[in-house]
């Protein structure tokens, strides 16, 4: 005949220990960081700032397409003003967001200043570009450096021969340098 009494205390407590272990796993799960409402508000402000920036940038890019179609210097200067305004309106709170996208837009503004005939403004814009993006650079499809190409165009002379610029541009800069002597 079998006894209804458990053989040992451990066998009797085994189901209870299993349940306690399962419950402790639920309790010991990591809790999300308590960032609070301040974090959410800051994140919302960043998202809104980037949304406003993109709307402004899209307007500037539309103006750029129109300027290229018309070929008018005044339109290129308007493109530069709009895109520079987009960057300025972004502010420091969201300045670290989507750097590559912002670099491309600001590069268009520098080129637009140059196409509009504002060489001094293009120089200042290139300096601001380098400062704002900590020396980061963009590269054209052929591998040419944006910064070196613009610097070669703005400085003229034989700078294009040694720089990472497209070969036709380097040849043209060398030709201009020869004829200017």
Nearest-angstrom CA–CA distance, 46 and 90: 9
Nearest-angstrom CA–CA distance, 14 and 72: 86
pLDDT tens per residue across span 72-119? 999 999 999 999 999 888 877 666 778 999 999 999 999 999 999 999
Asked whether the whole model's pTM tops 0.85, one would answer: no
Structure tokens at 85: 């305004």
For 145-171, letters b (16+ CB in 10 Å) and e give bbbbbbbbbbeeeebbeebbbbeeebe
Average pLDDT over residues 40-65: 90
DSSP SS3 for 164: coil
């Amino acid at each position: 005949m079998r006894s209804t009494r458990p053989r040992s205390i451990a066998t009797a407590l085994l189901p209870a220990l299993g349940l306690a272990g399962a419950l402790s796993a639920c309790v010991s799960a990591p809790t999300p960081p308590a960032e609070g409402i301040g974090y959410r508000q800051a994140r919302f402000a960043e998202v809104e700032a980037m949304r406003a920036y993109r709307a402004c940038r899209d307007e500037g890019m539309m103006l750029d397409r129109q300027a290229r179609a018309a070929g008018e210097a005044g339109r290129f200067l308007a493109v530069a003003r709009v895109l520079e305004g987009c960057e300025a309106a972004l502010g420091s709170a969201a300045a670290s967001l989507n750097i590559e996208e912002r670099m491309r837009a600001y590069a268009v503004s520098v080129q637009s200043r140059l196409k509009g005939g504002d060489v001094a403004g293009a120089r200042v814009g290139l300096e601001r570009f380098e400062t704002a993006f900590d020396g980061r650079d963009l590269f054209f499809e052929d591998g040419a450096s944006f910064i070196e190409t613009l610097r070669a165009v703005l400085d003229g002379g034989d700078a294009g021969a040694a720089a990472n610029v497209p070969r036709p541009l380097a040849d043209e800069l060398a030709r201009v340098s020869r004829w200017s002597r």
